[in-house]
Each structure stands twice: as structure tokens, then as C-alpha cells.
Amino acid sequence: MLLSRINSPEDLKRLSKVQLPLLSEEIRKKIIEVVGKNGGHLASNLGVVELTIALHRVFNSPEDAIIFDVSHQCYVHKMLTGRYEKFSTIRKKDGISGFTRRTESPHDFFDNGHASTSISQGLGLLAAWELQKKNGKVVAVIGDGALSGGLALEAMNHAGQLGKNLIVVLNDNKMSISPNTGAVSKYLSKLTMSGFYQNIRHKIDLAVSKIPNSSRHIGKFLYRFKRCLKALFLCNNFFTDLGFEYVGPLDGHDIGELEKVFRNVKKLKGPVVVHVVTKKGKGYSPAENDPAAFHGIGPFLISDGQVEHFDTMSFTECFSQSMIELAEKNEKIAAITAAMAKGTGLDAFARHFPDRFFDVGIAEEHAVTFASGLAAGGLKPVVAVYSTFMQRAVDQIIHDVALPNLPVVFCLDRAGIVPSDGETHQGMFDIALLRPVPGLKILSPATAEDLKLCLQWAFSQNCPVVLRYPKSACPTELKCFSRKVENGRGVYVSCEEFALNLSLKFDGSGFEGNVPDEGASEDERTEKKSVKKDGKNKSMLFVATGSMLSEVIQASRSLMIENIQADIYSLRFLTDLDIDEIFSLAEGRDGVVFVEDGVRSGGIGEALEQEFFKRGFRRTAVKALPESFLSQGTRSEICEATGLDPRSLAECAYKVVYKK
């Protein structure tokens, strides 16, 4: 097996050209096998096998930097840079990340997970190296979709201006970029990248620069002459207009041709774009036929590509259905997403209402400001984006939507804890970022029915509204969540409402070992024993964001078995709270625990605890996400690591209730 013998790019370079197709086949088999078990980004990685092999055979990583935009297509790169033995752990707790990570390997230069960053990163890295007299090539590998992001376009403009030797590999696997065609075009592309052409061009430019007084005019003439000459034989394109040399398009699955081109490109002076055409999902027919479905996918059957489906509806599916139902009744509802129609559930909306659906590409800032225009024009736009990606458009939310008080609805999928994708995808900052924005209302629905009602309420408002919900299955419906949405009010859930199937009675019997006495003093243990003996019940209240309902219910059940009546107040609203209502439910109880799936600093739990302190109620605790970046794992594993699992919540509540 060739792949098992490669521990570094140097090992890869020792392989003969005859062995490379066999290596490509082995890599594809390994990716399909592991992603079939772990889930992950399949189609994009199958499409860059030959491209990644060619890059590592020509360039000298890590002396040369290969930067993958988004980096969800870095699986091949990881296997070729010494991580083959660990590849089966990808996206698992304590395993390697599904994205590039600086802490994993010197071959990973950045912690990437968001799109359109690689050209900016590469240009900055190259400028730093040059200032420190360090030799080394910098290659930014960016997909055609990521090139639609404003950050990438800003970086391209700057790179053309600086004229540094940056190599941008454009991996074209979907978007139609007008290619140069014909024999003359291919010849001129090869001529443009040849050392001979570059030397002649450099000498002419140098000679012209030495002509006194008239160099500026001659320079303009030569520039225009070259543009006219190129226009006779090939279409000038966006890249040449920005000051880049352009090479391509090339077959991204022909290793020999790619290596030849990259070796020539290494000799060029100035920025260059190498346009490579690849096929997403190559080598696995289900992914080739439906690359969107296999972009980011859960575990699947390798034989036919089928993903296991569960009976329980997810929040994304509920949002998808609710949008269609509401849009059928309201022709003013429009939907916007940033290249995530399937991930956000808006693909169904697009099929039903194509005229009211807008996919703006990877351009979250534009999505928000575009929505402000739709709202100003009388529509009711919904911007559906993952929470982690909406971070990129906070200024637009504030300046273009909240300031003019326009009725835009933001639906933040993957809010809170996000399994598998790791640090760059956790939706843990949206509450702290958006709560202070004047006039912006934030809702946190807890069930499928709750999400539908909250969305319906959002459309009835004449102000901006945010709905945040997790990447998880919706909890079993509770009748209390069918109550209509009232401004600022949450949903009170009595513990009896979810305990009917447990046949629990508050008879003082308790349940040994369910909530351990870790951390409790001897006096506290004695007090607990006396309470049980006397049959007295303690009472506490969980105040939680909607997406934590499942974990809080499980914690409440544990406490009920321990003779602690644990009711829940689900925070439908995270802004404009009815503090009096919450406090009235807490008064007379033995403790309150605030629970949220966002960072503690600037979060709702911290704010509520301060308000309770002002009112003299101090038997409280806040359970929130820490101010640290959370690595990958399942939802339950991340909850356990951060103290938001049911057991930890129950232990925290117990300590609050029995606190002196």
C-alpha cells in the first residue's frame, strides 16, 4: 500500500509517475471509508486528490506555504503530511480536525473554517517573509464559490497592486468562469508563464523606465499595446484586469500536466492565477451525481451513499417546512442564503418560490444589506445563515438593518453547540454579539411548534428579529409551547409536564447515587439526609435558552428523583425580558440556575444573575459555554466537556439548593 508509506511530502516526491494513479485511488478509497463512518466533507475532498498530490510534489511544504481556503478540502493534504495513521479519527473527539489547524502540524499555516480568507492570509504571509528575507513560495488554493466572497475580491485587488509573487490556485468545480479556448489561447498561456517571456518583458520594462521624461507615456503605450494584443487572441479576464498573470484552464485530474505548470509558475515574478478545473465527488458516483448532498454529510452507507434518517424532526427541517407554510399565505415573504440553501433548509423554499429565493453566494455581508433593501421595498425577507458565519456580517446587521429599524428576520441555524466541525463552526458568540444591538429582538425557540410560532411572530413585527436554534433534533413537544408568543415572555414548564411517564412520586425515598455528593460538605450531606427523612421537598428553577431544553429536562428528572422539584423557564426571548415574570417564578425557591449555549461573558445568564442579585436573590449559578474555542465532538461530548450535560447541570443545581 503506497499511502501507508508516506509520512511527509518528501516521501511523496520519491514515487514514480506510474505510481501516482494508484496512490490517487488509495486516497479516494480511504476518504470514502472514513467519511462513511465519521461523516465529513466528501465531495470537495474527492475532487482535489490529484491537485493536492501535484502541489506537494512541486512545492516544498512547510518551507513553501500551501493555504487551503475554508480548508474543508484538506483531507488529502493531511494524509500526505504525516497524519495518515490518525486519519480515521478525523472530526472525532480528541482526533484530528476536519479543517487545517496550526497546532496539528507545521504544514497547516492557518486555522481555517470560513471562506474567502486564503488570498488575504497568503498575501500577508508572503509580505512578512519578504521583509524577513525568507525565501519561500506561498500558494493559496481557493474554490470558485469562495471567490464570490468580498474578502477574496479585496485581497485580489491588493495583491495585484503589490505585485508580489503570490500563486493563487483557482479550483473551479462548479461556477462557470468563461474559459479561454483554442490552440492560440493555450499557447499564449504557456508563453505567458514561460521564463523566456517573463525575462523579455522584464528587460523591456526596465529599459523603458530608464528613458527620461517620456517613460510614463511609453509605459502607458506598452500597457495598452499588450492589452490590445491579448484581446486579439484571447479574452481578457477579471484576473488580468487586476494585474495577475492567468494560466489555464487546466485539467485538475492530470497530475503530469499540473506538475509541469506548477514548476513553471514557481519561476514567475508577480502574482499569478492558475485556473484548475476539477470534478466534485470524483471517483464515487453518488457524490459525483449529487455533490451538494455530499458536501458536508453525516455517516452514510458506502454501497449506495444513503444517509441514515431518524424519525425525529430537526430544527432545520422544521424551519424549512414552516417557511413554505407561511410563504404560501404571505406573498411578501422572501428568503436569502449565502451558498447554503440545502444546509439551512431553504432548498425546498427555492423549489416552491423560485422568484422569492436569493442565493447570494459566499457573501454574508451582502446578504444582510441586500435584505435591508428588500425590507425597505416592502418585503419580509428572511436571511438564513449558520450562526458562525453571521459573525462576518455584524456591522451590516447593526448599520444597515437595526439602525433604520427594518423588518428583516435572521434565522441562525447551528446556534450554540455544533458537533464535529470544531472551533471555527461553534455558534457560541451570537448572543453576546447581538444582545446589545438597539431594537433587535432575539428569540430562542425550544421545540418544533415553538419555532413555527416564533417565526410567525417575527413576520408580524416591524423591527429586526433574530431566531437562533441548534443543529439537533427537536425535543418532544410539550403542550405549554403551543402558547402564543407574547413580547418578552418565555415559557414556564412545570416538572410534572415531562415526568408523567416516569411514575415519580415525591415520597422522600430518593435515588441513591443519581446526583453524587461530590463537593458537598459533611453538613450539607447531613442536611440532605434529614430533608429526605422528613419528606420535605426542595424547589429550584432552571432558566434556560430554548436550545438547551433537552439537557435541562434530563437534569430536572434527576433532581426530581432526589426530591428536588426542578421546574423550567424556557427563554423564548433573550432581549426585552419580562424580569418580573421570571423573578416571580423564582421567589420562594431554594435556588435558580441560568443555562445558556453561548459564552458566559456578555450572555443572558450573566445579565439575569446580576438582576437577581440586585433584588436580593443570591442562590444562583450560571452554566454557560467558556470563553475558549471548542474542538470537535458529538453534542453530548461537548456538553460534558463544558459542564452543560444533564449530570453536570443537576450537580450544579444540587449545590445551589443546599448551599449555606
Tell me the catalytic residues.
280, 364, 392
What is the 8-class DSSP label of residue 109? -
CB count within 10 Å of CB 361 equals: 20
**Does residue 559 contact residue 609 with C-beta atoms inside 8 Å?**
no
Bridge partners, 566 (sequence order): 540
Q: Edge-to-edge, what's the strand order for the sheet holding 380-386?
A: 357-359, 333-337, 380-386, 409-413, 465-468, 441-443
Peptide bond into 249 cis (omega under 30): yes
Nearest 5°: the CA angle 394, 400, 405 is 105
Under a CB-based contact definition with an 8 Å cutoff, are residues 633 and 464 in contact?
Answer: no
Which residues fall within 8 angstroms of residue 640, CB to CB, at 6 or more apart? 647, 648
Phi, psi for residue 16 in degrees, rounded to 5: -80, 165
Examine residue 62 and say whether the peptide bond preceding it is cis (omega within 30 degrees of 0). Answer: yes
Beta strands in 233-278 (DSSP E): 245-251, 272-277
State whether residue 233 is helix, strand or coil.
helix
Residues 53-62, buried b or exposed e (16+ Cβ, 10 A)? bbbbbbbebe
CA distances from 559 to 161, 497, 531 (A): 64, 15, 14
Sign of CA dihedral 641, 643, 644, 647: positive
Q: For residues 468 and 410, what is the distance between their CA atoms, to the nearest angstrom?
A: 8
Spatial distance between the Cα atoms of 419 and 639, rounded to a whole number of angstroms: 10
Q: Name every residue whose Cβ is closer than 8 Å to that of residue 447 and which is 6 or more positions away in sequence.
A: 474, 475, 476, 477, 478, 481, 546, 549
Q: What backbone phi and psi angles, to 5 degrees, belong to 634?
A: -75, 165
Query: Who contacts 658 (Cβ-Cβ below 8 Å, separation ≥6)?
Result: 520, 524, 527, 528, 538
Report the C-alpha gap between 659 and 111 in whole angstroms.
43
Going by their DSSP bridges, the two strands 272-277 and 245-251 should be labelled as: parallel
E strand or H helix that includes residue 598: strand 591-599
Separation CA 137–CA 66 (nearest Å): 8
Q: Is 447 in contact with 481 (CB distance < 8 Å)?
A: yes
d(C-alpha 343, C-alpha 334), whole Å: 17
Q: Tell me the CB-side half-sphere exposure of residue 341, using CA atoms within 13 A.
A: 15
C-alpha to C-alpha distance for 417 and 547, rounded to whole angstroms:
9
What's the CA gap between 44 and 161, in Å, rounded? Answer: 31
